[in-house]
Homo-oligomer: A and B are copies of this chain.
Amino acid sequence: MRAKYIPADICIGVVGLGLMGSSIVVALLAAGHPVKAIAPLPAEEAEAPARILAQLQHCAAAGLLEAPIEDYQARLIISGDYHQLKDCRLVLECVIEKQDIKALVYRRITDVVSDDAVISSNTSAIPISVLQEQVLHPERFLGIHWAEPAYATRFLEITCGVQTAAKYADWVYELSRCWGKEATLLRKDIRGFITNRLMYAVYREALSLVADQRATLEDVDKSFRYDTGSWITLMGIFRRMDFNGISDYAAIFRTIFPTLSNSEEVPMLMQRMVDIHAKGIHNQKGLYEYTAAEAREWEAAFALFNRDICQLAALYPEEELHATESNGQSL
């Protein structure tokens, strides 16, 4: 489908230039937008240019850029000064998941942008309806939740809070086609949106199996990698059911549902990770053990894998294979 908008005409602001924020900046640049990138922390302002350049080089290597890297850099301003945001039609907040810090950021954004700018959060932890109470124009506030790396994934969740006006969500949804996204648009704000709810349902069951010593971490990882991984990118959950002939599922639901974990407790293993300040490959303390070299190998492996899986996924475009109507709402 042809995009309705010309990205070069729409300036977008990004506030917060950590890993995710930088990656979103690159996604927007690659789509053709002028981008004002605000680093609230001096350390971020210092590190962002090199990180963004490296990510633009990844994009170029993966064939995602049409022009030389310099052209994209020329459309980017990195600054600690919120006044840079004044011409932005849309501002994306991606600072840490603390409500008071986000509130402060929204105030600073609101002070400079025009009255018709849309403000959004990349949060996956705080409900949009809650964050919305912190802004001057809640009807123009919504959630835009990206997957890492933002420039090389088709995932995007657009979520309305209770006060969000539908037209702004629709505008972002249309605009996101220019970003190469196949967005989901949630009209109602639900805790964890879709993807986190689904994955936390898996985590709950997986951690329960591990806690009961019925499976090891390795077993769980193998199971998801080799079974689910062999079809999920093409089909998703419900399409796979249709593919598998659908008729057996109901009987298995009946026997398996009553045996699944319904725990509401933080699993002991995860609490233990918090207690030992585990940051996984980032400080080589995690569910698995790592040397510094192994941690780097994982980063390198994911960069390569991600490029390949994106290219593979792109061979199966939404609009051709997935165009058939679902019966979900009518049945």
Contacts and interface: CB of A to CB of B under 8 A. Distances in A.
Interface of A: 97, 124-125, 147-148, 152-157, 182-186, 188, 190-192, 194-206, 209-210, 213-239, 241-267, 269-274, 277-282, 286-290, 294, 297-298, 301-302, 304-306, 308-310, 312-313, 315-316, 318, 321-322, 324-329, 331
B280 A246 contact: yes
A289 B267 CA distance: 40
A321 B281 CA distance: 13
Given A204-B201, A206-B238, A273 B288 contact: no
A279 to B, nearest CB: 5
B253 A270 contact: yes
Number of copies: 2
Main secondary structure, interface of A, reads: helix
A118 to B, nearest CB: 21
B224 A232 contact: yes
Contacts of A260: 197, 200-201, 204
A105 to B, nearest CB: 18
Given A154-B225, A192-B259, A245-B280, 7 more contacts: A184-B218, A184-B219, A196-B256, A201-B204, A202-B237, A220-B236, A222-B236
A237 to B, nearest CB: 5
The 5 closest A-B pairs by CB, nearest first: A221-B236, A242-B280, A229-B233, A155-B226, A242-B286
A182 B220 CA distance: 12
A247 to B, nearest CB: 6
A226 B199 CA distance: 13
B309 A246 contact: no
